[in-house]
Chain A
């Protein structure tokens, strides 16, 4: 590929990255904290593209007038120069991924593939839940309180949590939410079993807001043989995909 084509691809890649980071698209793939770096990187790519085009389209420097001088040549007689990387064509793929496809955040398929991520107890005593009835908690928070605190810090408070529907090991619907620490490649699910008014008739990957109470029932994730806490569902409603799909 010649330099102009490289410049166009850099422009597209930079533009796609900037677009993804000024909209909320990037939250499907990476952590929120990466945003300023994404914008800076996108600007650098655009600048590289503009500068390349600027140097390419200006009147050629004297050395370019040497015989066999064409785009990307200038040092050998081959029609294509070895230092113009052909592998750069592949950079179209992330551009298409971001601009054309924009795949959704990880969902039930990924949740079924991986074991529940609640493994290392971060601390032994949990702070009391914030005010509110029902109190808003994340799936991760509820699950770790339910599992490692045996629900002591939840008591009989009503909790409200948002996650998506996935199919558990025994074919029952479970409530899951992906947590990620860097990008979706390291995304792992936190899974909750449901009893009581279990959301029914919803396909996998539907997002629901569940209101309920703590129950001491426990299940097991067949993938990594870890315990899965349950929640006693009192009511639920379908909700749109949240802006931040990961916990």
Chain B
């Protein structure tokens, strides 16, 4: 009978609470969900139970699942997906840790003192801060989210978001190693990426609207207990940003398997087409910024300028970033920010290639 009650009220906003209302007459409200006095049969099923059932089913059907994975395409997809996730986990953890520290322990007044008062000057300062911090794009999204939450002007936080993964010591060293015969590539990459980050920050100052950024409410961050707030921030950011990272990694793995490299061969001969093609490829492949230089080096049939575009666009706009930005800042933001960044990065990198390479 309880199940029927559950089903009768799903449309109501308080559906679950109303269904729980039957219990509430019996149990105190605080006891709902997770607390010992839960009735297991005929009561509603919580996510922990769903999770447990799911895992049991998966373990039982392990053999048939493994059999379907035998196809080389699916197997390659799984390998690429798992490796993107494994590669990203340390960077995600580092970014989440830093963002939780910013969100909980660094007082708001610190940012007012650390960054120039005027937003237009805060943008280059934040870009420069991004240069120092070695990181991957997966980590910088939660950090930028935390910065905005703590009152940093969005323009500066976004400049940081773009600069941090694109120009940092590790990435520049990797670029130098990947292009031993073209050291100017390192300079071109650093300069072009910084310019893009600053242009995007200033563009946001002129055109951006705060209401585009719709950050989820996070009441737990204002918890009186710092420790509780800190771990709540870590837990939330890992599941949230991590979940969107999974989406992005699945998309990137699909592109990796479905788009054969030989298609690119036909595009390489046309100067403009090749720039556009590599810019799109950078978005679709979603490589870690520490690795993309090596991939760019192996795309030797393409011009240096088009490969520079690949290196500048990739860390700033790619599938997993778009997915994570949509999650952290809201879809309206990501739909405007990602395409604009793409165009700006493409133009700046092509210009830098023409001048420096």
Give the B-binding residues of A (Cβ under 8 A): 1-10, 13, 17, 20, 26, 28-30, 34, 37-38, 40-42, 44-45, 48-49, 51-52, 55-57, 60-61, 64-65, 67-75, 77-80, 82-83, 85-94, 96-98, 100-101, 103-110, 113-115, 117, 119-123, 181-186, 188, 222-226
Contacts of A17 in B (CB 8 A): 86, 89
- The answer to whether B29 and A97 have CB atoms under 8 Å apart is no
Partner of A104 from the list B51, B75, B217, B240 (CB cut-off 8 Å) is B75
Of A7, A30, A61, A73, chain B has the most CB atoms within 10 Å of the CB of: A30
Contact assessment for B89 and A41 in the assembled complex, using a CB-CB cutoff below 8 Å: yes
Looking at the assembled complex, report how far the CB atom of A28 sits from the nearest CB atom of chain B, in whole angstroms. 7
* Complex-state Cα separation, A222 to B247, whole angstroms: 33
List the B residue with the shortest CB-CB distance to A110: B76
Among residues 206 to 232 in chain B, which have CB atoms less than 8 Å away from a CB atom of chain A? 216-220, 225, 227-228, 231-232
For B13, the chain A residues whose CB sits under 8 A away are 77-78
Please determine whether A223 and B294 come into contact, CB atoms closer than 8 angstroms: no
How far does the Cβ of A94 sit from chain B's closest Cβ, in whole Å?
4
- With beta carbons under 8 angstroms apart, the residue of B19, B78, B236 that contacts A97 is B78
Hey, which chain A residues are within 8 Å of B16, CB to CB? 70, 78-80
**Chain B residue nearest in CB terms to A102:** B82
The one of B17, B48, B80, B180 that contacts A184, using a Cβ cutoff of 8 Å: B80
Q: Residues of B with Cβ closer than 8 Å to A?
A: 13-17, 19-20, 28-30, 32-35, 46-48, 50-51, 54-55, 58-59, 62, 65-66, 69, 72-73, 75-76, 78-87, 89-90, 92-94, 97, 174, 178-181, 216-220, 225, 227-228, 231-232, 234-236, 238-240, 242-244, 246-247, 249-250, 252-253, 256-257, 260-262, 265, 285-288, 290-295, 297-298, 300-301, 327
Q: How many Å from the CB of B166 to the closest CB on chain A?
A: 15
Known: A9-B239, A70-B17, A101-B78. A82 touches B85 (CB 8 A): no
In the complex, A65→B290 CA distance in Å? 48
